[in-house]
Structure 1
């Protein structure tokens, strides 16, 4: 995770996304900062409602401007996106940046063939003819591993399996060779075999095109497979970030630790029970005071002065490694020791 704007292809600075509702203001994203370089994958992980998808829909400009208050800065290859006109964003979407959605069946039109839907994006951004767009659609279906692409190009979404529909969505997202690809839990509804195939496909395509990828998931196992850097979100805020190795091997935030303790491992002791995080994610309409994780944190009472419930911890970043927690390094080393022992012995 780069620390300099000059190197960052995608740069997000102090992003706030608040929605106006009948019940009040929902602080879906509340001060998020990160960078992403070309050819790298940033994994954003967190429970449902943590702000992952909202962040990436905001990058694409897919929000109701009349009901959404957005503050901060989003730079894509030096171009500011928050203040960009809709016409400018339309030129970028599908062309310079694209998104793979979680539910391919819901995202694809049941009334049009797969080839037409892939080709439509290509024609819009390149001015290609129908014949050229069809040829490009066949080429992309072949590239993502669809058998007999010259025949399947005329099939409808319901004629594809779940894994093939997801491959078709990837083909559609990549048809214009975007430089930024946002994948919103694209493997959640797939079985593990197909999931592994999709992950390998994304890595191969990234190597071929040098694409920057933002990969959204709640699954740390997926993060371990595909990400270079990891950003952990909770309650609309970043609570920890760093390289994959740093975050997964030596977590610094109790929430990250909780996520990892909830995940089974293949190489650890078989008699170590899983420890789910107690309670539920916070309301973004009325978030808790202080650290938003403190009502669920087993270490909050160990911090002197009750800081966890009264003062929001800042995200302290050194060399790209950061965490937002009131625990001292000494306390963290002591309290997290059992995790290291159970996971790596």
Structure 2
């Protein structure tokens, strides 16, 4: 059974502007091999009208975090601890009925693969209309009119005709636009986008990103944008959270994190990313090793087995002590601020030019 408890000593939200506040979130899954610590003590805030980007390798806990916010984790095999507060409403202790009233209404999600998220047995129009009728008590005609309006808003040609089409009759880009239209049907205050452009070509990807920014400006939604692509996040986000092994290792404004990164893992992500303005023979520097097993995560700093700079820290701090992540602009790393600045200027920055 799922255990739903609040952490008594979780720090208070950072300020009145926080529309979504997550404090000391822990999500664990029971498996045949043991307990998977998918999210391990995560805290962050999202403001109204702002976009929080979350980046990290596969298995870092990005998607699990946001499925838990929506209450879409499996209650039979998962344990959730901590605090999730959406506009004053505590979600961890909310009932399934309460969450159903919020999902698709006050908070919504754009899934990574619309072909699997959309049912092949129902028309796109029906799938857009039903949540609107449920949450707003609208008639079929009102829901149809609203769905056609939203399909037009996201750039679907001939929306009155396409309303009666099935998902397989849409192209990949059009299915993603339909997913965005579905998520925005009830004007949600929180929109979670889980790698919504991964399977799209570059031109369609740019159109979808611009569309999300325009719709956010129109509706004033808070957005959590999950991706592994730092180029995309630089275009979309106001603030950035870097996750590794279920934990946050760096956070700050998107400009601070991308232009003045302070954690070795963030350095690794940036060094392994190709740049359009670099030479064609630019050499990328991959992060050595593989992400740790969440069944048996390493002690101390979870990144220390892959970190090229752990020898710069005296003693066994990196291997024995988990570095904390403070509020605001911060990193979870035992390197001193002076060491971080020196390493970045001398060793990392030349790779990024």
Report the TM range for the smaller structure's normalisation: over 0.9
Residue from 141, 151, 160 that aligns with 1:150: 160
Structure 1 position 183 matched with structure 2 position 212: no
For 1:302-317, list aligned pairs within 5 A. 302-317=312-327
Unmatched segments (≥5 aa) in structure 1: none
Aligned residue for 2:200, secondary structure, equals coil
Q: Deviations over 1:52-82 (max 9, x none)?
A: 0000000000012232111110000010000
Distance 2:278 2:14 in 1: 37
Residue from 320, 325, 340 that aligns with 2:333: 325
Count of matched residue pairs: 341
Partner of 1:107: 117
Residues 5 and 11 in structure 1, CA contact (< 8 A), matched pair in contact too? no
Residues 291 and 313 in structure 1, CA contact (< 8 A), matched pair in contact too? yes
Structure 1 position 340 matched with structure 2 position 312: no
Aligned residue for 1:166, secondary structure, equals helix
Distance 2:299 2:282 in 1: 34
Distance 1:162 1:68 in 2: 33
Distance 2:263 2:44 in 1: 17
Partner of 1:260: 270
Shift of 1:270: 4.8
Q: Deviations over 1:214-270 (max 9, x none)?
A: 000011011101000000000000000000000000111000000000101123455
Aligned residue for 2:315, secondary structure, equals helix
Residues 105 and 157 in structure 1, CA contact (< 8 A), matched pair in contact too? yes
Partner of 2:288: 278
For 1:48-197, list aligned pairs within 5 A. 48-197=58-207
Residues 269 and 343 in structure 1, CA contact (< 8 A), matched pair in contact too? no
Residues 270 and 352 in structure 2, CA contact (< 8 A), matched pair in contact too? no
Runs of 4+ in structure 1 deviating by more than 3 angstroms, as ranges, are: 268-272
Aligned residue for 1:305, secondary structure, equals coil
Partner of 2:4: none
Residues 37 and 246 in structure 2, CA contact (< 8 A), matched pair in contact too? yes
Distance 2:37 2:59 in 1: 11
Distance 1:126 1:179 in 2: 15
TM-score between the two structures when normalised by the length of structure 1: 0.97
Distance 2:90 2:15 in 1: 13
Distance 1:331 1:3 in 2: 31
Distance 1:4 1:167 in 2: 34
Aligned residue for 2:214, secondary structure, equals helix
Q: Deviations over 1:114-149 (max 9, x none)?
A: 100000111110111111111111001000000110
Aligned residue for 1:9, secondary structure, equals strand
Q: Deviations over 1:28-58 (max 9, x none)?
A: 0000000010000000000000000000000
Shift of 1:342: 3.6
Shift of 1:23: 1.3
Structure 1 position 245 matched with structure 2 position 236: no
Residues 30 and 237 in structure 1, CA contact (< 8 A), matched pair in contact too? yes
Structure 1 position 292 matched with structure 2 position 302: yes
Distance 1:287 1:340 in 2: 30
Aligned residue for 1:326, secondary structure, equals coil
Residues 42 and 231 in structure 1, CA contact (< 8 A), matched pair in contact too? yes
Moved more, 233-242 or 130-139: 130-139
Residues 112 and 195 in structure 2, CA contact (< 8 A), matched pair in contact too? yes
Residues 28 and 38 in structure 2, CA contact (< 8 A), matched pair in contact too? yes
Distance 1:74 1:3 in 2: 10
